[in-house]
């Protein structure tokens, strides 16, 4: 059980709670069957005595039935309490470790993995594992022990009726073994992959709803989302049709104990003539046979849940298994702020095509340069190599004469600010968003950043000013306004190197004019601007970009 071994790694100091929970669950499975036995004894006394109630015997059996039922509830409660304590620790540690790994991932990781994909794998996966540990695992012990104990009881009291009762169970077991064949796990993985793909594409579709409405499109215009729905639908349909007959047969036979018991009881009564003993035993079997059906059904579903829990852990670990960018053992310091690309060649991880090849250029300290070129020419890639979203395949990116690979991550992040097309703002106050890169900034510095980024009118029109929470009570900002707030954050950070990747991509003409004004007001730093419309580049020295040799046209001004 590799899944259980993986769970133990995340239990920490609560590792013993789960085995104790399973022991209590096993005891509960025995105790919970005793009320049926005592009820059978009461019925047997009444039948054997011909209806004359022996008060003492009936009363004692009734109290024992009540007491064992209460004891079963108490044992189950403590079993679940312990399993929940272990499950919460597993979930917390799983999320914490996943977050620690994600924080250490290269920044480019988050370009290649959508937020919907990461959220589904980590969040839903951790919740699924919590449910399995807290509820399903304790039930598994009881579901295995109960049928074994019941089988012993029915063979002990009357082996002939017991065999009649076992016939449908053997048929059910054979059908269940067929359905639980490990070879069928391949479908489970395909199903999970399809579900994950559909969830990821759904998030992207929701984000694109404004575009859908503007251009009067439908879900069919989002081909990847539509294809993911069709793939999921086909898989589920195939799965349903494949399991339709075995599942129908299983459901029928597992509940058909009476169909075999009644003829067997009639035959026994005809041979022995003692109808009271046969009727009493048959009453017990009618009471206790459903325990088989319930627990065997649980075992079947728990096998699937065990597989899903293992897959959830594997998916979380696969998502975060990419090694972080190597950090220098002896970090070097920057001897200036000039940015240099020297014979840079780069391809994205997992691909074979070069995005950049033999790229060389320099951005002198205190100057502003624009990267101008066609869409797909590698401008965004160049911009993201400066703050080391990825490491170059060949060559070097240097700041102040020092290769960025030899600069400590903390120092590199202190000296580089960036504002990208998709300006990420947290669902918290504007003040916390602006001061995120410099939490100890003075009020004067904050006000200056707001003024330089042309964000003053945004702050002034909001009811709580800087303390307004984004996303709260209907407070949302337009794309251009978000970019101005992101620019204020970059200005407040006061890093000497600023990278702008289409900083006006989502701005309307008014917001674009204000952002351009803010950029001109923040001169004096090394700045690399990725511009698609050339009017974004007012005041910049253009570098034209080509996918293969971005330095060929470096002399254009």
Question: Tens digit of pLDDT for each residue in 123-160?
Answer: 878 888 888 888 888 888 888 888 888 888 778 877 88
Question: Which CATH number belongs to the domain containing residue 236 in this structure?
Answer: 1.20.1560.10
Residue 327 lies in a domain: no
499 shares a domain with 418: yes
Residue ending a domain, choose from 319, 352, 367? 319
DSSP string over 393-435: SEEEEEETTEEGGGS-HHHHHHHEEEE-SS----SSBHHHHHT
Per residue in 204-233, pLDDT (tens digit) is: 676 666 655 655 565 555 777 788 888 888
Residue 554 lies in a domain: no
The mean pLDDT of 461-467, rounded to a whole number, is 84
Is the pLDDT score of 539 beyond 60? no
276 shares a domain with 155: yes
Total number of domains constituting the chain: 2
Residue 207 lies in a domain: yes
71 shares a domain with 138: yes
395 shares a domain with 475: yes
Per residue in 449-463, pLDDT (tens digit) is: 888 887 888 888 887
Residue 139 lies in a domain: yes
Contacts of 45 (CB under 8 A, 6+ apart): 53, 54, 57, 58, 61
343 shares a domain with 223: no
426 shares a domain with 304: no
Is the pLDDT score of 81 beyond 90? yes
pLDDT in the model for residue 209:
65
Is the pLDDT score of 182 beyond 70? no
pLDDT in the model for residue 274:
67
pLDDT band at 69 (very low <50, low <70, confident <90, very high): very high
CB 254 within 8 A of CB 293: yes
Mean model confidence pLDDT for the chain: 78
Question: Which CATH number belongs to the domain containing residue 429 in this structure?
Answer: 3.40.50.300
383 shares a domain with 241: no
**Structural domain boundaries enclosing 535:** 339-544
Is the pLDDT score of 515 beyond 70? no
361 shares a domain with 309: no
Residue 81 lies in a domain: yes
CB 175 within 8 A of CB 164: no
Spatial strand order in the sheet of 356-363: 356-363, 339-346, 394-399, 402-403
The mean pLDDT of 407-415, rounded to a whole number, is 87
Residue 431 lies in a domain: yes
356 shares a domain with 275: no
296 shares a domain with 171: yes
| Residues 277, 402: Cα–Cα separation, whole Å | 93
Is the pTM for the entire model greater than 0.85? Answer: no
Residue 201 lies in a domain: yes
């Amino acid at each position: 059980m590799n899944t259980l071994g993986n769970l133990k790694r995340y239990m920490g100091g609560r590792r013993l709670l789960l085995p104790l929970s399973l022991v209590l669950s096993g005891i509960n499975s025995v105790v919970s069957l005793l009320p049926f036995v005592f009820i059978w004894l009461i019925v047997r006394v009444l039948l054997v005595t011909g209806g004359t109630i022996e008060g003492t015997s009936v009363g004692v059996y009734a109290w024992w039935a009540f007491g064992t039922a209460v004891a079963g509830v108490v044992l189950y409660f403590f079993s679940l309490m312990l399993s929940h304590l272990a499950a919460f620790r597993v979930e917390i540690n799983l999320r914490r470790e996943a977050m620690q790994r994600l924080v250490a991932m290269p920044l480019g990781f988050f370009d290649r993995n959508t937020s919907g994909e990461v959220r589904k794998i980590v969040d839903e996966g951790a919740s699924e594992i919590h449910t399995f540990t807290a509820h399903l695992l304790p039930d598994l012990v009881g579901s295995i022990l109960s049928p074994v104990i019941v089988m012993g009881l029915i063979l002990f009291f009357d082996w002939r009726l017991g065999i009649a009762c076992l016939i449908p169970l053997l048929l059910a077991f054979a059908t269940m073994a067929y359905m639980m064949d490990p070879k069928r796990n391949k479908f489970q993985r395909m199903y999970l992959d399809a579900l994950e793909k559909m969830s990821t594409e759904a998030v992207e579709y929701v984000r694109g709803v404004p575009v859908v409405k503007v251009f009067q499109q439908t879900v069919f215009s989002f081909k990847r989302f539509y294809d993911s729905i069709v793939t999921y639908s086909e898989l589920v349909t195939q799965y349903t049709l494949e399991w339709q007959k075995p599942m129908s047969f299983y459901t029928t036979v597992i509940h058909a104990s009476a169909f075999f018991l009644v003829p067997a009881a009639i035959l026994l009564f005809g041979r022995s003539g003692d109808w009271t003993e046969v009727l009493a035993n048959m009453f017990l079997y009618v009471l206790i046979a459903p325990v088989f059906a319930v627990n065997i059904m649980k075992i079947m579903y728990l096998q699937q849940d065990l597989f899903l829990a293992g897959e959830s852990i594997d998916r979380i670990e696969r998502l975060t298994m990419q090694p972080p960018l190597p950090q220098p053992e002896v970090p070097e310091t920057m001897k200036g702020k000039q940015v240099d690309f020297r014979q840079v060649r780069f391809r994205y991880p997992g691909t074979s095509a070069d995005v950049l090849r033999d790229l060389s250029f320099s951005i002198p300290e205190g100057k502003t340069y624009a990267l101008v070129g066609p869409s797909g020419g590698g401008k965004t890639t160049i911009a993201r190599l400066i703050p080391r979203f990825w490491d170059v395949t060949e060559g070097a990116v240097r700041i102040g004469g020092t290769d960025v690979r030899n600069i400590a991550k903390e120092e590199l992040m202190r000296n580089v600010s960036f504002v990208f097309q998709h300006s990420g703002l947290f669902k918290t106050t504007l003040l916390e968003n602006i001061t995120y890169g410099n939490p100890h900034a003075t009020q004067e510095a904050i006000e200056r950043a707001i003024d330089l980024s042309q964000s003053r009118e945004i702050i002034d029109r909001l009811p709580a000013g800087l303390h307004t929470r984004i996303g709260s009570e209907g407070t949302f900002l337009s794309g251009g306004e978000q970019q101005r707030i992101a620019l204020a954050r970059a200005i407040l950070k006061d890093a000497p190197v600023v990278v702008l990747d289409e900083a006006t991509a989502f701005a309307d003409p008014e917001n674009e004019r204000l952002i351009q004004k803010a950029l001109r007001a923040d001169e004096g730093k090394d700045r690399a601007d990725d511009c698609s419309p050339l009017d974004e580049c007012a005041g910049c020295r253009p570098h034209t970009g080509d996918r293969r040799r971005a330095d060929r046209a470096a002399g254009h001004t």
